[in-house]
C-alpha cells in the first residue's frame, strides 16, 4: 500500500478517535448546574453543553421542596426560596415582595423597607429612612452582661418617655434570636411619629469603631415594625478583618481579603482611574477583580441614568447562557447593577456590572468585572458589599 495512503488513513483514524473522545468527554462533563437551591438542566449537543435558561427548585441542590406536594398539610412550596411556607404567611409576604433591600455590614444585618422611603439621615454607619407613612432607623446597644429583658426595660423606662407612659413589651424570636418588641401607649408624644422599637440579641457581639455591642435595635413606626421585623436577618461579616483600600482623591474606600493584593492605579484599564485586586499567589492573572472609574458632568435625571444602565445590562444578558441580574438601591444617591453567570461558549462563571453614584456636580460610574470563576465571583460580591463613598 502506498505510504501516503497509509499516512492518510492513520491521520483519519486518529482524527476519528479524537472527535469521538471529545464527544464522549462532553457527554461526561456536561452536567446540570446548581444556582443556590435551584437547578438548570444541561445536555450535550455536539461539542457544546447547552443549559436551559429557566431555573427550578431541586432537592439535588438543597431545596426543601420541588412542588407543593412535598410540603405538609397547610403549607405550599415557595418557589422563590424553595422552602415550605404556610399559605397565610405567603399571602402576607406578598405585601413586602416589592420592598427594597437594605444591608449594613457594620451592624451585620439586612432587612426590607417600603420602596417609597428615602435616606433621611446618616450618623456614623447608622441610617434613617423615611416616607410619608413611616420610617425606620437602626443602632446598637452595648448591653454588656445584661439580659434581653433588662435591655428592653432600660429602653422603655428612658427618662424622656419616648413610648408614652404605659408602653407594652412583647417577647419574640427574630432570626432565631431572643428579642422584644416595644409598642407605644396612646399618650405617646406626636413628635415621636408612632415610634416603636425592636431589640434583638446579636448571635455574636459586633464591634463598631472599637466598641462592642451585644444588641441590635430597630426603631420604626408601629404600623410597619412587625413587617420589617419579619425581614430582618443577621449576616456574618466575613470581611471584618479584611484590608482597606482608601482613595481620598476620588472619595471612596473598599475592603479586600488579607491574602489578596491591590494594584492602584492599574494601568491595564481604559478609564480615568483603574484598580485591580489579585490573590497573592496569582498576581496579574485572570483571577483578578477589576474596577474602572468614569466621571461625567451631571446631566439628566438620576432615574433616567439608571434606566439607561438597566437597558445596557438587559442587553448584556443576551451574551449569557445562564445569568443572575441584580439591581440594588444602596441609598438615594447610589445604585448597583450586577450580572453573573455562565456566558455562551464558556463554562466558567463570570460577573460584571457597575456602581453609579451621584454628587451635586458629577456622576461616578465604577464599572467592575471578573472572569475568575465561582470563588472569585463570591469574593467580588463581598468586596462590593464593603464599597463606600466618603462624605
CATH code at position 123:
3.40.1000
Q: Does 41 reside within a domain? A: no
b/e 184-217 (16+ beta carbons within 10 angstroms → b): beeebeeebebbbbbbbbbeeebeeeeeebbbbb
Same domain, 186 and 283: no
Q: What is the model's pTM?
A: 0.48
Q: What is the pLDDT along the chain (391 residues), one digit of tens a residue?
A: 566 665 666 566 555 555 565 556 556 666 777 777 788 778 777 666 677 766 788 888 888 898 888 998 888 888 877 888 777 666 665 577 789 999 887 899 999 999 999 998 887 778 999 999 999 999 999 999 999 999 999 999 988 899 999 999 999 999 999 999 999 999 999 999 999 999 999 998 888 877 899 999 999 999 999 999 999 999 877 787 789 999 988 888 999 999 999 988 877 555 678 899 999 888 887 789 999 988 888 888 888 888 888 888 888 888 887 778 888 877 778 888 898 888 877 777 888 899 999 888 888 999 999 988 888 888 998 899 888 888 6
Q: How many domains does the chain have?
A: 2
pLDDT of residue 303: 86
Q: What is the pLDDT of residues 332-386, one digit of tens each?
A: 788 888 988 888 777 778 888 999 998 888 889 999 999 888 888 889 988 998 8
Same domain, 113 and 157: yes
Domain span holding position 166: 98-234
Q: Which of 208, 234, 260 is the last residue of a domain?
A: 234
Same domain, 168 and 230: yes
CATH code at position 366:
3.40.1000.10
Q: Does 298 reside within a domain? A: yes
Same domain, 189 and 275: no
Q: Which of 209, 234, 259 is the last residue of a domain?
A: 234
Same domain, 209 and 266: no
Q: Does 185 reside within a domain? A: yes
Q: Does 382 reside within a domain? A: yes
Length of the chain: 391
Q: What is the pLDDT of residues 259-289, one digit of tens each?
A: 999 988 877 555 678 899 999 888 887 789 9
Same domain, 289 and 312: yes
pLDDT of residue 340: 87
pLDDT of residue 151: 96
Same domain, 127 and 209: yes
Same domain, 215 and 265: no
Q: Does 149 reside within a domain? A: yes
Q: Are strands 42-45 and 48-51 parallel, antiparallel or unpaired?
A: antiparallel
CB contact set of 308 (below 8 Å; sequence gap of 6+)? none
Q: Does 10 reside within a domain? A: no
Q: Does 320 reside within a domain? A: yes
Same domain, 209 and 287: no
Q: How many angstroms separate the CA atoms of 203 and 44, rounded?
A: 46
pLDDT of residue 20: 62
Same domain, 379 and 257: yes
CB contact set of 380 (below 8 Å; sequence gap of 6+)? 289, 351, 368, 370
| 216, three cell numbers | 441590635
Q: Which of 234, 263, 286 is the last residue of a domain?
A: 234
Nearest Cα neighbor of 364 from 345, 336, 342, 328 is 336
Q: How many angstroms separate the CA atoms of 286 and 276, rounded?
A: 11
Same domain, 213 and 251: no
Same domain, 197 and 248: no
Amino acid at each position: 500500500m502506498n505510504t501516503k495512503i497509509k499516512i492518510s488513513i492513520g491521520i483519519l483514524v486518529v482524527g476519528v478517535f479524537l472527535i469521538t473522545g471529545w464527544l464522549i468527554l462532553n457527554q461526561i462533563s456536561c452536567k446540570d448546574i446548581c444556582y443556590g437551591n435551584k437547578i438548570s438542566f444541561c445536555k450535550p449537543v455536539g461539542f457544546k453543553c447547552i443549559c436551559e435558561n429557566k431555573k427550578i427548585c431541586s432537592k439535588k441542590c438543597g431545596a426543601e421542596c420541588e412542588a407543593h406536594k412535598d410540603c405538609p398539610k397547610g403549607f405550599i412550596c415557595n418557589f422563590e426560596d424553595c422552602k415550605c411556607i404556610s399559605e397565610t404567611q405567603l399571602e402576607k409576604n406578598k405585601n413586602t415582595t416589592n420592598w427594597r433591600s437594605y444591608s449594613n455590614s457594620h451592624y451585620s444585618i439586612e432587612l426590607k423597607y417600603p420602596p417609597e422611603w428615602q435616606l433621611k439621615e446618616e450618623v456614623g454607619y447608622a441610617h434613617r429612612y423615611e416616607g410619608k407613612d413611616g420610617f425606620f432607623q437602626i443602632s446598637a446597644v452595648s448591653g454588656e452582661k445584661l439580659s434581653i429583658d433588662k435591655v428592653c426595660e432600660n429602653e422603655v423606662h428612658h427618662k424622656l418617655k419616648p413610648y408614652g407612659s404605659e408602653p407594652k413589651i412583647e417577647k419574640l424570636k427574630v432570626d432565631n434570636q431572643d428579642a422584644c418588641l416595644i409598642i407605644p401607649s396612646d399618650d405617646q408624644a406626636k413628635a415621636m411619629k408612632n415610634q416603636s422599637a425592636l431589640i434583638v440579641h446579636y448571635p455574636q457581639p459586633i464591634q463598631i469603631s472599637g466598641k462592642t455591642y451585644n444588641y441590635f435595635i430597630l426603631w420604626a413606626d408601629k404600623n410597619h415594625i412587625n413587617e420589617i421585623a419579619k425581614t430582618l436577618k443577621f449576616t456574618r461579616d466575613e470581611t471584618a478583618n479584611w484590608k482597606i483600600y482608601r482613595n481620598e482623591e476620588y472619595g471612596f474606600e473598599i475592603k479586600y481579603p488579607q491574602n489578596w493584593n491591590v494594584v492602584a492605579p492599574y494601568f491595564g484599564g481604559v478609564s480615568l482611574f483603574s484598580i485591580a485586586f489579585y490573590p497573592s499567589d496569582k498576581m496579574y492573572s485572570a483571577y483578578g477583580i477589576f474596577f474602572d472609574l468614569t466621571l461625567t458632568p451631571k446631566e439628566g435625571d438620576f432615574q433616567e441614568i439608571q434606566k439607561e444602565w438597566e437597558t445596557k445590562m438587559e442587553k448584556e444578558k443576551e451574551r449569557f447562557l445562564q445569568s443572575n441580574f441584580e439591581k440594588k438601591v444602596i441609598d438615594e444617591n447610589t445604585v448597583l447593577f450586577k450580572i453573573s453567570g455562565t456566558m455562551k461558549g464558556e463554562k466558567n462563571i463570570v460577573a460584571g456590572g457597575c456602581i453609579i453614584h451621584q454628587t451635586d456636580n458629577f456622576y461616578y460610574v465604577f464599572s467592575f468585572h471578573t472572569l475568575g470563576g465561582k470563588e472569585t465571583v463570591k469574593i467580588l460580591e463581598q468586596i462590593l458589599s464593603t464599597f463606600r463613598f466618603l462624605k
